[in-house]
Every structure is written in structure tokens, then in C-alpha cells.
Structure 1
Amino acid sequence: MKLPPGPTRELTVKTDLFSFVLSQWDSPHVLTPEEKEEIRVDASRYLAIVRQIENVQRDIHPQPLPAETQARLTFARQSYMLRNFRLFRINDLPTEIICDILRLVIWDSMKRPVDARLCVTWACKRWRQISLSDSTLWNAIWFRGAGPKADRAWAWFERARHSPLDIRIDGPQDSSDESAVVDLSKEPSVTAVDMRQMFLRLLTKLCNLRMLIVVVDDWQSALVILDLLKTHGPSGVPLLQRFELHRGGLRNEDRRTLRWPGVVAQPFLGGGVAPSLEYLSLNGVPIDWSRSVLENLTTFDIRRLPAIYSPDAARFREILFNCPRLQKLSMDGAGPIFENPSGKQPAIYLPHLRTLVIADFSLNYAMFLFSQFRAPNVNDLTLMNLCGTSYVPLFLQITASFPKVRLLSAYSIQFESSPLGCEAMTGWLDSMPLLAYLRVANVANEFFGLFLRAPGSDKDPVAPKLATIDIQSIEPRIFVQWAKDRRKAGAPLHKMYISEELGGRLELKHIRVLTSICILAKLPGGATTPEEEALSLFP
């Protein structure tokens, strides 16, 4: 094998070392004794270089190595590892050890799990045998459209055998785990008839279902799923932990009026008990609340339900009471039927609730909703589409209700910008002294002023721990000036995330100002930031 000459060449190719070395090797074959000896000699030579530089590094510690020497050390280590791994007799390991290694390789490749599983079966005969005999490598299955992808998913369905199944079904869309560019207009769609046939086959392993997430775009498919679950659910779903059913397709539906066809609500799972169910999400689909067994949930997520298909207040409170370990409660345009309180009911105490989402409600209804429960340990609070009038009375109501909030999302919230209104809103923010992460979009300019005291005030800054902000759909000059004012108030930001669309509207002068104050980064839609992940772990 011809090696690259000299350190200069080494530094040039080190960024693509793996590809360079592989290009020097012949096609895969069983190595001869002579080839093995040559590889050992090469590996030993690079290992000797590593040891020499490491000895120098120890002698001059704590002084760092020169940049060129450090680069040569990195290159030598990589070169040694490449050759060493070629001689490693992995197939001499016990089958159980290889199986564990393959599991780690596949489930550590979350962005490309499809390719990872296929590549393992293509590597060699033994790996294929081991991977095909391990049902847990195939139990996460994603059905997307019809055609070859569906055939592949069914092959994995059979390979999973009797292991717990994690199933996701949705329409054709771009794949995050395949390199090919997909023309969605040519992707075969799934009709309601196809959905019925698919579900009937899936239900042959009903007792193995652990997770079922379904996204449909039409009423017919959604009703097929609810009807089949009503029929087969009472037979038992002992392993089901997570169920989500999302009906998209708002083309023929007004979100606010929610004019639905005449749908007969059915009890969830036909009124059967799912003893392991912890996560329930129903988006734009009805169930018969009075005949559904809902208890011991940790996530309860309901969206887009008109009042006629909503639980009454007593049943809603009963569900909350029967879920004492509830950790996430999300209500987006869906909740209990509004009732004018004749006699005030005590709020349901939810000590473990960590994430709360309230969205798309009128002022009176939102105030009614917040009166139904008490959750002082919420860490992540989201308020969206609270607009059309001033919601100051609501914020006065929830002031001091969530003292442990560290992550706050405020999208399209409206309040009276009078001195009294701003004072009330600032008081609400002051009641969340641990706030460290703010997501904000489509709010009035006055919202940013809530985080600034009047000149000469001797009070601490509003939200003194606020270090990270995620901004969307805001006029650039507004939040640039706000970042400057926060620094002047003694509470500077550490990092600012902006949407890609907003980043395209930033002028160079804005970028210079922001980068002089904090770290500036673009955030793709739907991405989770490291700061958000870290804060979500707080007790």
C-alpha cells in the first residue's frame, strides 16, 4: 500500500483520511498472511509516532503542543486506528457480543436508521444471519405511502416477529433516512380502503403493539382507524404505551368554527383497558369520553375539538384526577365544555406536571380552564394564539401559579399596552424568576418592553436568569434594540436563536450588533436546542 509522502501531504488529506485509505485497499477479500503482516507493520509505525509525540507532550505539560505537531498526532492516531480495525477479528466474538454491537450501531444512527439496518445485513453472511435473527432490530417500522416502501415495511413487520412493535403510519413525504431525492407528486397515496387493509394486518399483532402513531389527511381514514380500534381494542392491548392519531387536512375545515361532518364518537379502544398506556394524543378526532378508560397517563394531548365532541367539565376533571403522574398536558383548541361555575370546584392538584401547552382559546374559556387544575412545578409553559382581546385578566389570574418555569413560549398573545396592563404583565413575568429560555413569535413590540424596568428603578432586572432566546416573526430592529437594552440593564443574553427566514432579513449592521452582545445562531424549524434539552432535565 502506497502511503502519502511527508507531513505536509498528511496534513492535507487528514480531513478525508478514511476515504483516502480505503481507496488504496483492494476490494473486500480474506487477507493473506503477507497482507496482514504489511498492515501490522504500517500500524506499528504510526503507533510509534503516537507514543513519541505523547512523550513530548508529557515533558512539556502544561504547555500545549505546537499546532502542526498536534495535527500530526491526530493524523497518526487516526492512521493507526484505521489499520488496527482492519485486522480486528470481530467475527471471532461471541454472537451475543456482535448482536449488542449491531444494536448500538443501528440505534445510534437516528438520522439514518433505514440505511443503518440495511447496511448491516449487506456487510457479510454472518452479520446478516445475526441481524435477521434479532427481532428487536426490526420492531421500529415506518409506513409511508404505498409501493416499495410499504413492501419493505411489511418485511420488517415479519422480521420483528413477537417483539414489541413501534409503528408509525403517515402519507408520502420526504424521508429523513434516505439519501435519494423524493418526488412527492409521484408517491402513491394511501386511501381509506388501503388504510383498512393495512390496519387489519397490523391488528394480527395487536398484543405486540407498544407504540402507534398515525397521521392521516382525510376523515375516511381517521374513521376507519377509530372503528377498527373500537372493534378489536376490547380483546386487549397489554403492551400499548403510546397512541397518537392526527388528522390533518384543514383544506375543507375552518379551524375556529370546526364544522365537522356528522361523526359518531366511539369509545377509545372500544372501552377496553390499556394497562400500560401512558401517552395519548388525539388531534382533530373525536372519542366518546364517558365510555373511554383513561387513567395513569403521563402525557395527555388533545387538539382541535369542537364543544360537541369535548368532555364535560366533570369528566375532564375525573381524567386529571385519575392521572396523578401526569407530566405533560397539552390543550390546543380542545378542552372541557365551558361551564359557568355555580359552586366553585377545587382545582385538581398535578404535582408532577412539567410541560403545559395552552393554545387558541377565548379569554373567558382560558380563565375557566386554568381554574380547573393547579400545577406549581411546571418547567415548560407554552401560551399560543391568545388574541382578539386583551388577556391581561388571564395573566393576573396565573401570576404566581408557575414559579418554577424555566422555558416560556409566547406566540401570538395580546394584552393591553396601557401602564396598568404592562405593569400586570411584568408582574406575571416577575412571578417566574427562574425563567432562562424564551421562545417568542408574532407578539406586539410592547412585549419586549415588559422585560425592562423603568429608568432609575432599584428593582432587579425582569427575568434575571434569562440567557437564551429563540425569536421568530419579529421586526429585526425591535429585538436588536431589546438585546442592547437588556445588556445595559445588567442582564445580557448569552445566546440568540433566530429562524432561517428571519436570518435572511437581518442586515449586516444588525448582525454586528448582536454578535457583539451574544452568540447568534440560526435555528431550523422544529429543531431542539442544547439549552432547551438541558433545562428540560431540571426537577
Structure 2
Amino acid sequence: MTAEILQKVASEGLPPTRMNARRLFGSFSFSHQPPYSRLPNELLSEIFLYATCRGVDDRHEIISTPIAVSQVSTRWRNVAISTGALWGTIIITFPISRGQISRALTWLKRSRSYPLSIFLDFRDPSWDWDLPESAHPFRWQDMEALIRLLIVHAHRWKQFELLTDTWAPIFTILHYSRRIKCAPILESISLSRCNAFFAARNATFAPAEMKVPIALFGGLLLDCLREVSLTGVHVDWTTSPLRNLTTLEFKYLATDVTPTKDQFADILEACPNLHSLTIIGRGPQADSPPSSSGSTATNRPDSRSKKSARHVELMSLTSFTFGFNDMDYALEILSMFSFPSIKTLALENLSNVDPPALQSLDATPLLKRLSFLDVSSDATTTPFPLSHIISLKLYSISASQATFSQFFDKLRNLEYLGLYNASKDVLEALKPSSNVDFNSSILPCATLKDLECRDMDPETLLKMVKLREAVSHLGHVSFEFSNLCPTLRTNFLDAGIDVVVQTTAQ
């Protein structure tokens, strides 16, 4: 039977082999198409999204990536346009151009129903701060036109960030946010009026006609909101949806628009899972007017008001950043809190925001309070377990070597230390004791692994590092500088210190 079949096939003849193979498998000719051209559309889309996410720290890269991939080929363009999540970042900056508006409209359309991250930066690099706000080239009418464009997509907002030089655009946003009926996926809000002057101790809000507080989003309950940053921006502290937050920032608020202590305590108590708190300049109102000298805390038995404030225990807080320019206020506010889970601390001296420029504010009372060594007769201290802290940053902090030494004695588990324009006494305090016997127990901050310095005395830093290395390996040390002689630079490299050249103004 088999022989008969073979004979029949042989008599009928076979189709041309090459023609049959080409029909089944395509041409035998060499393909010039790269392997990635055969990737499924779904996988190609995920690659595009991954490439965009890699540039998350560079918003302009997030914008340029979709444009780049959509110009490679017709297929890539079709895949990119059909990937709605690829177009979910809206960026508009000053000066606003017709091209930016056109791009924003295109992105809003292509992103379809996907979440939106909105970044608006209307700061003018050439703005003269001595001019009235009404002279600023970005006006409230410009902000109104933009917010009308974006507000219809508020149900898709996931992140919203606005930076301005003046108050009118912020006021416009707050006014129009009251019209929003729902923002079910909004996770992060950042509003910044970038004028540090309002952190000055006697500065009051301006323009006065726009001082009236407005509830953020009209008091709308935002179930997913977790991060709020207000820089020079005040709201209605009672009705705004500041609850269930994990990150909260108060920066550069004028003295007459800050929340009361009770309002501030209410906000914090409504955020039981708060992990990060930042207070730069002003948080809640003080019980007494700010001092004119900047530091009188150590000259009076009790520098705080006799009126007792509510004490707030932040059980989940692990990170605290505190910037101050009035020592009485700083000590008063710190007395409100307990940070039993603190791990990261940053302290910043803001005395340079007060015109005329003041001498560096002595941080001794603050460091003593934090290390439970306040010299005042008040026995009440802020529950602040320094032994839990693993990361510390000090910005323009001045104190005596003895004060720093007492402070460092409490930091028994410190792993990272950042020093920025701090007094060189802090470097002296990090040196091993004079009776070094190669026992790490006498080494200040013996667990320190990473040290980062900027605008510090280079010779004192070099000497300190060498002395510590003689006792115990310090780990990674970096020094950022703008002008360092070649000899010192060589010595730094020989000591194992990474040298970083400042490329931007600090």
C-alpha cells in the first residue's frame, strides 16, 4: 500500500520546494529587521512604560520619552499612542508657550482614563522681589485659564504640584479647587509660594486682601490623599482634608496665617500613620510673640509660655525635619511632640532669612533640649530618643564643641551624618578622645558609616577623618566643594575621601 502511494506521488510530481517553503515560512532572503521588531505589542508597551519610570526624578525625561519612542517607526508610534499610561504626566512651565498648551491637550487626550501627575512651575528666574506682586508676568488670569483646562480631569489627578513666586496663582487654585466634586485617586498635593522671606520672625502675610483662608478642595474628603506639602501656603486649617497623611510639610509660613496649637494638634492626631513631618520656619502659632534677639532661652528660667499646649505623641513618625530662626519658638514647639520611633532627623538654622542678616543663631539650647540637658529650671523635656536615630543632617548649625559632644554621646546608633555649612566645632567633636587606646567605645558616633560634608572647613575635616581612621574605619566620606586647592584635594583623595565639585549654587 505504501509503495502504491509513493508511486502515485512520484507520477504526479512534487511542487517546487522553494515555493512551498516560502509559502509556509516566508522568504529565505536575509531579514534586516532587528529582533525587537518581533516583540508583541503588549511587551513593547511595558518596555516603554519602564523606560519612562526610570526617569522619574527628571520630569522632562518623562515627557521626552513618549515623544522619542513614538518617532522610531509607525508601529512604535501606534503602540505608544495606544498606551494611555505613557502620557499621564502633564508639565507646564514658565514662560507658557502655545506649544506647551498644545502638548498638554494632546497628553490629556492620549492618556484617556489613566491617572495624571501634574507639575506646574511658574517661577520667573528674573523676577525682582522688590516689585509688587501685580507686576509678575504670570497672573491670576493665566492660572485661571489653566485650571479650567485641568479641573475637568480632577477625577484622574494622582499627583498635583504647583510652584509660583506670588500668591495670586495659589489663591486661584484654592478658589477653583472648591468646585471639584471628586478626586478619588489623588495621593499627593504640593503647593509652593517660593518666597523664604515669610519665614522671618516678624513677617506677616501679603497681599492682605487675599489673606482669607480657603479650605483645600473645599473640605472634600480625599480618601487616598497621603502626602501634603505647603510652602508659604495657608489654608483653612479646620476644614481642609489634612487627615490620614503619611507625609506633611509646613514651610515658610507667615506668622499670622499659621494654625493654632489646637488646630495643629488636631491635624497631627488625625494622621496616626504619619511617617514624615517637616516644619521649616513656622508650624503652629506660638503662645508668645517671637523674640527680637533670636535666642533668650538660656537667660530665663522658663522661656515658654505658662499656657500648656496639647501634647501629641506621633507613634509612627520616623523622619523629622526642623528649620528654625527663633530659639524660644523652637523650644516651645518641640515641647508639643513625642517621637518614640524617630530614625531620621534634620536641623536647619534659618536666621539668614531675616533682613538685615543676623549672626548665626546659636543652637546650643536646642541641642541641649534634644539631649535632655536643657540648663533651664524646667524639668519637662521632649521625649526624643536620640539613640534611635540612624540618619542626621545639620544645616548651618552652630554650637560649642562641648555641646556637640554631649549631643553625639546620645547618638549611639548613628550611621549617616550630613554636615552643611555647620561650625567646625562639630568636626572637632567627632574626633576621638585624646586618650585613644584603639577602643571603639571612646569614639564619638562609633557606628557612623557615611559622612557627607559641604561648605565645611577642609583642613579640620581632613584631620578628623585621619584620626578616626586610626581607631576604626569610618566608611564612605564625601566632601563637596567649590574651591579647593590642589594640595588639599590630593590629601583628601589619599585619605579616601570622595571629592565632589559643586556645579550648581547651593
TM bucket (normalised to shorter chain) is 0.7 to 0.9
Cα deviations by residue, 1:166-219 (Å, 9 ceiling, x for unpaired): 100013789xxxxxxxxxxxxx96432111100011001111111100011112
Superposed, 1:136-155 pairs within 5 Å as 136-145=85-94, 146-147=96-97, 148-155=99-106
Cα distance in structure 2, aligned partners of 1:373 and 1:321 = 11
- Report the equivalent of 1:374: 338
Shift of 1:246: 0.6
Cα distance in structure 1, aligned partners of 2:220 and 2:114 = 22
- Report the equivalent of 1:20: none
| Counterpart AA for 2:86 | L
- Report the equivalent of 1:132: 81
Shift of 1:371: 1.5
1:34 aligns with 2:12: no
Q: Go from structure 1 to structure 2 and tell me whether the alpha carbon gap of 1:523 and 1:403 turns closer, same or farther (over 3 Å shift).
A: farther
Q: Go from structure 1 to structure 2 and tell me whether the alpha carbon gap of 1:350 and 1:332 turns closer, same or farther (over 3 Å shift).
A: same
Give the alignment partner of residue 421 of structure 2, picking from 421, 442, 456.
442
1:518 aligns with 2:496: yes
| Counterpart AA for 1:296 | N
Cα distance in structure 1, aligned partners of 2:428 and 2:267 = 40
1:105 aligns with 2:51: yes
How many pairs does the alignment contain? 423
The structure with the largest helix share of the pair is 1
Q: Go from structure 1 to structure 2 and tell me whether the alpha carbon gap of 1:278 and 1:160 turns closer, same or farther (over 3 Å shift).
A: same
Superposed, 1:429-508 pairs within 5 Å as 429-456=408-435, 459-488=441-470, 490-499=471-480, 502=481, 504-508=482-486
Give the alignment partner of residue 179 of structure 2, picking from 232, 239, 242.
232
Q: Go from structure 1 to structure 2 and tell me whether the alpha carbon gap of 1:158 and 1:87 turns closer, same or farther (over 3 Å shift).
A: closer
1:407 aligns with 2:391: yes
Q: Go from structure 1 to structure 2 and tell me whether the alpha carbon gap of 1:335 and 1:307 turns closer, same or farther (over 3 Å shift).
A: same
- Report the equivalent of 2:278: 330
Shift of 1:451: 1.4
| Counterpart AA for 2:370 | I
Any gaps of 5 or more consecutive residues in structure 1? Answer: 1-30, 40-85, 175-187, 528-539
| Counterpart AA for 1:370 | L
Cα distance in structure 1, aligned partners of 2:65 and 2:493 = 39
| Counterpart AA for 2:451 | I
Q: Go from structure 1 to structure 2 and tell me whether the alpha carbon gap of 1:241 and 1:254 turns closer, same or farther (over 3 Å shift).
A: closer
| 8 Å contact kept, 2:258–2:284 | yes
1:157 aligns with 2:108: yes
| 8 Å contact kept, 1:144–1:150 | no
Cα distance in structure 2, aligned partners of 1:319 and 1:149 = 38
| 8 Å contact kept, 1:138–1:159 | yes
| 8 Å contact kept, 1:90–1:98 | no
Q: Go from structure 1 to structure 2 and tell me whether the alpha carbon gap of 1:517 and 1:306 turns closer, same or farther (over 3 Å shift).
A: same
Of residues 93-102 and 339-348 in structure 1, the stretch that sits farther from structure 2 once superposed is 339-348
Shift of 1:346: 6.2
Identity of aligned residues (%): 22
Cα distance in structure 2, aligned partners of 1:249 and 1:118 = 35
Larger Rg, first or second structure (1 or 2): 2
SS in 2 for 1:353: coil
| 8 Å contact kept, 2:84–2:112 | yes
Cα deviations by residue, 1:293-315 (Å, 9 ceiling, x for unpaired): 31110000011112221111111
Cα distance in structure 1, aligned partners of 2:342 and 2:501 = 25
| Greater relative contact order (CA < 8 Å, ≥ 6 in sequence) | 2
SS in 2 for 1:505: coil
Cα distance in structure 2, aligned partners of 1:284 and 1:89 = 50
Cα distance in structure 2, aligned partners of 1:158 and 1:477 = 58
Cα distance in structure 1, aligned partners of 2:110 and 2:212 = 37
- Report the equivalent of 1:352: 316
Of residues 382-391 and 196-205 in structure 1, the stretch that sits farther from structure 2 once superposed is 382-391
| 8 Å contact kept, 1:494–1:519 | no
SS in 2 for 1:470: strand
1:365 aligns with 2:344: no
Cα deviations by residue, 1:472-493 (Å, 9 ceiling, x for unpaired): 22232222222223223x1343
Superposed, 1:10-25 pairs within 5 Å as none
Shift of 1:396: 2.2
Cα distance in structure 1, aligned partners of 2:284 and 2:53 = 40
TM-score, normalised to structure 1, is 0.72
Of residues 120-129 and 291-300 in structure 1, the stretch that sits farther from structure 2 once superposed is 120-129
Of residues 379-388 and 117-126 in structure 1, the stretch that sits farther from structure 2 once superposed is 379-388
Cα distance in structure 2, aligned partners of 1:253 and 1:365 = 15
Q: Go from structure 1 to structure 2 and tell me whether the alpha carbon gap of 1:160 and 1:173 turns closer, same or farther (over 3 Å shift).
A: farther
Any gaps of 5 or more consecutive residues in structure 2? Answer: 1-25, 126-135, 288-303, 352-359, 372-383
| Counterpart AA for 1:520 | D
Cα deviations by residue, 1:516-539 (Å, 9 ceiling, x for unpaired): 222413165799xxxxxxxxxxxx
Cα distance in structure 2, aligned partners of 1:524 and 1:445 = 20
Shift of 1:456: 1.7
Q: Go from structure 1 to structure 2 and tell me whether the alpha carbon gap of 1:90 and 1:208 turns closer, same or farther (over 3 Å shift).
A: same
Q: CA RMSD in A?
A: 2.7
TM-score, normalised to structure 2, is 0.77
Cα distance in structure 1, aligned partners of 2:36 and 2:268 = 56
Cα deviations by residue, 1:323-361 (Å, 9 ceiling, x for unpaired): 111111000012111125546556322222122110024
Cα distance in structure 2, aligned partners of 1:448 and 1:413 = 12
| 8 Å contact kept, 1:377–1:403 | no
Cα deviations by residue, 1:480-514 (Å, 9 ceiling, x for unpaired): 222223223x1343332222xx2x42222212322
| 8 Å contact kept, 2:262–2:310 | no
Cα distance in structure 2, aligned partners of 1:283 and 1:172 = 14
- Report the equivalent of 2:15: none
- Report the equivalent of 2:254: 306
- Report the equivalent of 1:216: 164
Cα distance in structure 2, aligned partners of 1:152 and 1:192 = 22
Shift of 1:287: 0.9
| 8 Å contact kept, 2:198–2:252 | no
Shift of 1:268: 1.5
